[in-house]
Structure 1
Amino acid sequence: MIRGLAGLDRNNEYFIFLKAQDSRHFENLPPNMRRVELPDYSRPMRLAWQHLRAGEQAQRLRLDIWHGTHYTLPHRVSGVRFVATFHDLGVFLHPQFYPAGKRYYFQQTFFHAARIAHGILAVSEVTARDFHRLVSFGKLPQQQGEVQAIASGVNEEFFATVSLAEKKDVRRKYAKDSRYILFVGTAEKRKNLGMLIHAFHRLCQRSQNDYVLLLAGQSGNGSAEVAHAITACSLQNRVKCLGYVAEADLPALYQAADLVVLPSLYEGFGFPALEAMAGGAVTLAANNSAMREMVGHAAMLCENEPEAWAGKMEELLGNQPLRSELISYGRRRAQQFSWRSTAQKLLALYERLHAAKTISVFDLSANGAAKSSRDGATSSKAIPSSPTDVAEAVLRTIAYADLFDYPLRFTEIHDGLLEARVSGVAVSAALQRLQQRGIVAESEGYFFLSDRRRLPEIRRQRSSISRRILEQNRRIIAAIKNFPFVRGLALSGALAFENGKEGDDLDFCLIVDSRRLWTTYLGLVLLTKLLGMRRLVCLNCLIGTKELVWSERDFFVAHQIAFLLPLSGADYFRQFWAENSWTRDHVPQISVERRLAQGRLFAGDECDNQSRRKIVETVLALKPFNLLEKVIFYFYRRRIQRLTQHLQTDSVTANAGQIKLFTNNHRGRLKAKLEARMRPWLAKLTEVTVEVEENYAAS
């Protein structure tokens, strides 16, 4: 599913929560898809996280949609649209197949998901019908959202033809060179393996053959029944329980089988049948539930009787014309189940759900009043009045990033839109218009000015460099984060965007307890000198907890403040951004919580060694050290003034509550470069949008 979405959608941003050991399945994803690795939890702890803590992640990341791909949805989350995937409803329809504890847990989980989900994805038509039937019986609540049947897909590796050598290898490895009938799945009661073993016993009695029956899959609540059936039929030498089989071996194991069987009493989808059919294996499945829907051919279905199964297996093993027909049919049938098709339907569902939350820039129903942004701030001047204004705002945002060789993702354009507040729909329409006119291009989910085709490659390289720099300097970052009186630490400059180059400095902005601002500054200077890192670590900005308001106010300062990347002290930076809400006039759609979440993914939010730091702070906060603070302030301020007196800039501040040492003021240069960069593209946009503007005015 993720691969299917990756091939279709480069506009939306995705966060994929997964176990660390599963990361290998999600390598080389496009830049709009980010992996979030979960701690190495046990299954109960992972389920507890999904119910109780996942909602916090959803709100920190300001997610629009949370898709629970396996029943579970978070509790106590507002402002998020939920999608729940229902793979089957066996715990309601066949409760006798499940242990009491598991049955109770899943029934409660399903009930919760059905109650709060805005969209319910059923993996088959059968599962969708079962859902509606259970609602009518009162077993599930009346859902608030739509129920849509969206079939899963078959992975591409199962369609590839396996060589004869590979088939021989798996036959030797798993069947000791014997011909075999194959079952793939967990040994659960609903898989009906006891019946299959008795049917295989009858097949062996009917004719002289050397087939073995391979049962591939982990043990389950039906394992005892399997062992009993094998013993009762004296098939210890003919039935082999393989346990878990490596995924890499499955395609060859299917294709080397003389017959693949799926005798389940109930399935919500039936992956093994389709995977086997995709590779050209003759398949026999039970004539019930979703297997009838997936297989779709009468000759490949059988009723639940051992004698009937023995007869069907004998026919499919010996009737060569029928085998050839079913091999050809099976491949065609499996091709109808692609992950791309699944992703197309799923993306349409996401868009329908999100559309209910989106307000178009053209919906100015409140007499043109500004709509609230996602973080609650408003700006009366930030609503464009026409499609051209929206396109110009998008163009200006992309052009400003271009000054730093930095292409933007869709979400980065929307959240970082300069001096405009518009919906995602309007941004998407503006991007489409700019692309149609040859002003903006897109590649791998990145948008950039059309004469800058190498920017995605540059961004990938710089992202790798930035992560390496941060990883190499993790210890000094931790040391600063845990330093006495430091209340919050944020990256600024290029590394805050993962746009660093080889040899770049670490630019930091710190929020420090106002009582010991200058003592902390001196301590950090001495620490970095002692470690030989004074030139690498730039302590450009220390803000006291009682002096959070920034006096210099223009677009360039606003952009720097808005895009700080906090590594600790989330609450302090929330307060800092709130105290400087004027930045919303320039970057009105920036998501504070998304910036906090992005920083937290790298460094975590809480400091270590709290007790040790509190002891040091308690001592240094004593009154005798007030004089030391004043002495350091007096001498260091004079030193800073002496070193910067030749600079004609208002970007250097040294007072009791703030230290700002921005000795290189690039505002004038950046402003001139931005205007020069915009001029030809803006002329092209104005030239080609005259007709659009007239039509808009007429409407």
Structure 2
Amino acid sequence: MSRHHYIQTAQNKVYQKTIPLLKIKRNILAALAYFDMFDYPLTYGEIFLFLENKYCQSDFNDAVNCLISSSTIFQFDKFYSLKNDPNIATRRNKGNAKAAELINKARDVGRLLIKFPYVRGVGISGSLSKCYADDKSDIDLFIITEKNRLWIARTIMHCFKKLTFLINKQHHYCMNYYIDEQQLQIVEKNIYTAIEIDTLIPLEGDTVFEQFYAANVWTRGLLPNRTLRLSTAKPLRKHLIKSWIESLFNNRTGNWLDDTLMKITANRWHKKTLMKKLNMRGTVMGMAASKHCAKPDPVNFQTRLINRYQYKLNSLFHETEDKIAQ
């Protein structure tokens, strides 16, 4: 082999390694950028889990070290962030401790709510599912119901929630996302919903959550390193009162009632949206209501968040282009 050919071969190998390394760096920055919108730094393992592609551990480690040495990302104890601010790690530690307390309360809430008619699964969603909370945090809950009985279940549960205002416990019962067994797949398929699905903490209904994850395997295309775990979900148990109430509506009357409650609720929420009423977070109140789903209107928060994330990524890649190419 000539000296020229040897040098050219070596250069090609370096070039081939540089391209994947650049891609890994971009993946790392993308993962950190998403959670940076919530001032939430990630651990080494969490960054790896939220990468959009699979990489070997050694290449991932090299990319992280390169980003740190170029001051593109910053490390504070076990956390990594785009911000050069040690207070962000302190904030996360406090938030994790607060979340541990709320998750214990959420388990009690789940044990209660699973006894309601037509409820088949209860899980923790929102910031609490990422193990973060502060003094203003709610317990956001993800509810799976029997097929074609979502609106009966939701109405009964929200009537109960009205009572929790009397004892100032309404923040423990934020049941804001419902789907039923007929349509377990989440319609919106994007990085936001993928992260929300893969960070859910199932509390009750192990079987229905297995079916839910099976219906949403598409998330692996966006988060291939995530492993879905069901260890926290308890099996569904029979409750006499629950079974008795369900038997009263497992007929045509139940079909009519479910449809009627859906129409009444959807109309009421539509009026709130037209009046531009704001929720506690300052977002216009809106609900996406269908036969098999009741959830916050994606346009009000989800779409805006994704647009904000994309803008942040474009700016970040432009600002760090020279650094990450090294």
Match of 1:434 among 60, 67, 75: 67
Aligned residue identity for 1:561: I
Measured after TM superposition, the shift of residue 450 of structure 1 is 4.9
Are 1:420 and 1:587, in contact at CA under 8 Å, matched by a contact in 2? yes
Aligned residue identity for 2:250: A
Residue equivalent to 1:565: 201
Secondary structure of the residue that 1:514 maps to in structure 2? coil
| CA–CA distance in structure 1, aligned partners of residues 126 and 81 of structure 2 | 20
Residue equivalent to 1:412: 46
Q: Is 1:479 the equivalent of 2:115?
A: no
Residue equivalent to 2:289: 654
Aligned residue identity for 2:27: A
Q: Is 1:556 the equivalent of 2:199?
A: no
| CA–CA distance in structure 1, aligned partners of residues 210 and 240 of structure 2 | 24
Stretch moving more, 623-632 or 486-495: 623-632
| CA–CA distance in structure 2, aligned partners of residues 504 and 672 of structure 1 | 23
| CA–CA distance in structure 2, aligned partners of residues 461 and 588 of structure 1 | 30
Are 2:150 and 2:292, in contact at CA under 8 Å, matched by a contact in 1? yes
Q: Evaluate the alpha carbon distance shift between residue 681 and residue 436 of structure 1 in structure 2; reply closer, same or farther with a 3 A threshold.
A: farther
Measured after TM superposition, the shift of residue 623 of structure 1 is 4.2
Identical aligned residues as a percent: 21
Q: Evaluate the alpha carbon distance shift between residue 668 and residue 624 of structure 1 in structure 2; reply closer, same or farther with a 3 A threshold.
A: closer
Residue equivalent to 1:575: 211
Measured after TM superposition, the shift of residue 517 of structure 1 is 0.8
Larger radius of gyration: 1
Are 1:515 and 1:621, in contact at CA under 8 Å, matched by a contact in 2? no
Secondary structure of the residue that 1:543 maps to in structure 2? strand
| CA–CA distance in structure 1, aligned partners of residues 306 and 190 of structure 2 | 13
Measured after TM superposition, the shift of residue 507 of structure 1 is 1.4
Secondary structure of the residue that 2:144 maps to in structure 1? strand
Residue equivalent to 1:606: 235
TM-score between both structures, scaled by the size of structure 2: 0.80
Aligned residue identity for 1:621: N
| CA–CA distance in structure 2, aligned partners of residues 574 and 682 of structure 1 | 41
Residue equivalent to 1:591: 227
TM alignment of 1:439-518, pairs within 5 A = 439-518=72-151
Aligned residue identity for 1:456: A
Measured after TM superposition, the shift of residue 509 of structure 1 is 1.4
Measured after TM superposition, the shift of residue 467 of structure 1 is 2.1
Match of 1:616 among 230, 236, 245: 245
| CA–CA distance in structure 2, aligned partners of residues 455 and 674 of structure 1 | 23
| CA–CA distance in structure 1, aligned partners of residues 258 and 323 of structure 2 | 62
Tell me the alpha carbon deviations over residues 486-543 of structure 1, each in whole angstroms, 9 at most, x when there is no partner.
Answer: 1111211111111112121221111110131110000100111122244552222110
Match of 2:265 among 632, 636, 640: 636
Are 1:407 and 1:456, in contact at CA under 8 Å, matched by a contact in 2? yes
Are 2:145 and 2:179, in contact at CA under 8 Å, matched by a contact in 1? yes
Measured after TM superposition, the shift of residue 612 of structure 1 is 4.6
TM-score between both structures, scaled by the size of structure 1: 0.39
Aligned residue identity for 1:573: F
Instruction: List runs of 5+ in structure 2 lacking aligned partners.
Output: 1-17, 277-282
Tell me the alpha carbon deviations over residues 97-142 of structure 1, each in whole angstroms, 9 at most, x when there is no partner.
Answer: xxxxxxxxxxxxxxxxxxxxxxxxxxxxxxxxxxxxxxxxxxxxxx
Q: Is 1:665 the equivalent of 2:294?
A: no
Match of 1:389 among 23, 31, 40: 23
Secondary structure of the residue that 2:224 maps to in structure 1? coil
Structure 1 or 2: more helix by fraction: 2
Q: Evaluate the alpha carbon distance shift between residue 673 and residue 558 of structure 1 in structure 2; reply closer, same or farther with a 3 A threshold.
A: closer
Q: Evaluate the alpha carbon distance shift between residue 473 and residue 488 of structure 1 in structure 2; reply closer, same or farther with a 3 A threshold.
A: closer
| CA–CA distance in structure 1, aligned partners of residues 176 and 217 of structure 2 | 22
Measured after TM superposition, the shift of residue 673 of structure 1 is 5.5
Q: Evaluate the alpha carbon distance shift between residue 608 and residue 434 of structure 1 in structure 2; reply closer, same or farther with a 3 A threshold.
A: same
Are 2:125 and 2:199, in contact at CA under 8 Å, matched by a contact in 1? yes
Secondary structure of the residue that 2:75 maps to in structure 1? strand
Q: Evaluate the alpha carbon distance shift between residue 689 and residue 394 of structure 1 in structure 2; reply closer, same or farther with a 3 A threshold.
A: closer
Secondary structure of the residue that 2:174 maps to in structure 1? strand
| CA–CA distance in structure 1, aligned partners of residues 218 and 274 of structure 2 | 29
Structure showing greater relative contact order (alpha-carbon pairs closer than 8 Å, 6 or more residues apart): 2
Are 1:510 and 1:541, in contact at CA under 8 Å, matched by a contact in 2? yes
